[in-house]
Amino acid sequence: MLIKFLLSRQNALEPHMSKDTLEYHWGKHHRAYVENLNKQIVGTELDGMSLEDVIIVSYNKGNMLPPFNNAAQAWNHEFFWESMKPGGGGKPSGELLELIERDFGSFDRFLEEFKSAAATQFGSGWAWLAYKANRLNVDNAVNPFPSEKDKKLVVVKSPNAVNPLVWDYSPLLTIDVWEHAYFLDFENRRPNYISVFMDKLVSWEVVSKRLEIAKARATKREMEEERRKKEEEEENSEDEAVEVYVDGDESESE
Residues near Fe ion, by CB under 5 A: 176, 178, 181
Cα 85 versus chain centre, distance: 19
Dmax of the chain from CA atoms?
92
Question: What's the min distance (Å) between Cβ of 40 and Fe ion?
Answer: 19
Nearest C-alpha neighbor of 166 from the set 65, 83, 96, 44: 65
Q: Is 29 annotated as a binding residue?
A: no
Question: What's the min distance (Å) between Cβ of 182 and Fe ion?
Answer: 9
For Fe ion, the closer CB: 99 or 118: 118
For Fe ion, the closer CB: 114 or 178: 178
Amino acid code (one letter) for 110: F
Looking at beta carbons, which residue is closest to Fe ion?
A: 176
For Fe ion, the closer CB: 5 or 24: 24
Question: What's the min distance (Å) between Cβ of 142 and Fe ion?
Answer: 31
For Fe ion, the closer CB: 17 or 96: 17
Note whether 54 and 71 are within 8 A (CB): yes
DSSP secondary-structure letter at 198? I
CA distance 128 to 157: 6
Residue 78 contacts by C-beta under 8 Å, 6 or more apart in sequence? 3, 30
CA distance 129 to 107: 13
Q: Is 16 annotated as a binding residue?
A: no
For Fe ion, the closer CB: 128 or 178: 178
Q: Is 77 annotated as a binding residue?
A: yes
Question: What's the min distance (Å) between Cβ of 197 and Fe ion?
Answer: 13
Question: What's the min distance (Å) between Cβ of 221 and Fe ion?
Answer: 31
Question: What's the min distance (Å) between Cβ of 95 and Fe ion?
Answer: 30
What Rg, from alpha-carbon coordinates, does the chain have? 23
Count CB-CB contacts under 10 A for residue 39.
Answer: 10
Q: Is 180 annotated as a binding residue?
A: yes
Count CB-CB contacts under 10 A for residue 192.
Answer: 13
Amino acid code (one letter) for 138: V
DSSP secondary-structure letter at 17? S
> Which residues does the annotation place in the binding site?
25, 77, 176, 180
> Which residues does the annotation place in the binding site for Mn(2+)?
25, 77, 176, 180
